[in-house]
Amino acid sequence: MSKKIVFYGSFSGNMLKSLNSKCPEGFETCQVPAGGDLSALASADYMVNRGGAVDSSVMDAAPRLKWIQKWGVGYDKIDIKAAGERGIPVGICVGGNSMPVAELAVTLMLDVLRNVVPLNAKMKEGEWVREQYSARSYLLHGKTVGLIGIGNIARKVASIVRSGFDAQVLYYDVFRLSEEQERSLGVVYADLDTLMAQADIVSIHVPLLESTAGMIDRSKLSLMKPTACIINTSRGGIINEADLIEVLREGKILGAGLDTYAQEPLSRDSELLKLDCVVATPHCGGNTVDNDINMAAICMDCIARYDASGSREMREIVNREFLK
C-alpha cells in the first residue's frame, strides 16, 4: 500500500513538477490548497507545507500524519507545539533557500542604494533624470553591512558583500559565534544598538519568534544613519511597519528593501508602496526555477529519511522540545 504525501498550501506548477519528480518510490502525492477541502488530509502520512497555516484543525483532519515538512525554513505559520503534542515532528529545509534569499538581499541593497526602481520608472515614462537621484545614490562597495542573525542566509550575504564589495560586516545574534568562526567568516560581533548605529546597510536574518516580533521599532530605527537603509528578507513581523513608514516619510533613513510584510499579501493600499525609497518584492526570496528543484529534493529526502528511520534526532526537526 502506497504512503501518501500531501502538498498543503500554495505551490507553483514548477514546484509541483519538481516535488513529484523527486517523490520516493512507494509514495503517492496530492495537492490541497490552504483553506480548501481538508478531507483529503484524512489519508495523509506526510505533508509538505508552503504558505498555508497548519494549526490544530488541519492536524486533526490528518490523524495518520507522521511528519510535517516545511518548504523553506520559516515555520511561524505552523503550530509546532500542537504538532509536538500529537507526536508529529516538523522539519525545515536547512540551508535549502539560503543562496537565492542571500542574492535577493544583496539585490535589494543595490536597488535601494542606487535608486534602481524609481530610475527605471522614470525611464519608462520617457524621462531622462540622471541628476535627480544622484544626490541620494551610494555605493555598496566599502560600506559597513550589519546582519541581524547569523544563520545560513546571513553567512552567504556576508560572503557576497565581503568578497564582491569589500564591505565590513558586523553581526548581532543571541548566540554569539566562536572567535574562530568569526575569523573564518570575516565578521565582527556587535550588540544590536551598536550595529544599528554603525551599519550603512542593516539586513535582517532572524526567524519570527515571540522574542523577535517587532524588535526593530522606532527606537532602533532612530539609531540608524540618515544615509543608511534596512533590508528584510526574513519575516515582516520583525519590523514595526508603522514605525518604519514614519521614519521613511520623515527622511530619517535612506530607504528600505522589503520582501516580507506583517500581513501577506501586502495590501495594494499600503503606505509602503507609495514611497519612492522603498523597493518591495512579494516574498519571493527563495523562488527561482533552479532552486525549486533543490528545495523539492530536500523536502522529499527528509520525508524518505524519516520514513526509513523514524529518528527524532534529525537536524531538520524544529519542535523536538514539544514531541511526545
H or E segment at 70?
strand 67-70
Helix/strand/coil for 14: helix
**Residue 235 among the catalytic residues:** yes
Which amino acid type is present at position 25? E
- The DSSP bridge pattern shows strands 188-189 and 90-91 to be unpaired
| From 141, 264, 312, 315, active-site residue | 264
| From 50, 155, 205, 283, active-site residue | 283
| From 205, 235, 241, 316, active-site residue | 235
Which amino acid type is present at position 56? S
Which amino acid type is present at position 54? V
**Residue 283 among the catalytic residues:** yes
Work out the angle between the directed axes of helices 98-113 and 116-124 (0-180°, nearest 10).
70
Residues 6+ apart with CB under 8 A from 52: 8, 9, 10, 33, 34, 35, 58, 77
Q: Residue 242's closest CA among 216, 265, 264, 260?
A: 216
Side-chain half-sphere exposure of 173, counting CA atoms within 13 A: 21
What are the backbone dihedrals phi and psi of residue 72, each rounded to the nearest 5 degrees, phi first? 105, -160
Q: Which residues are catalytic?
A: 235, 264, 283
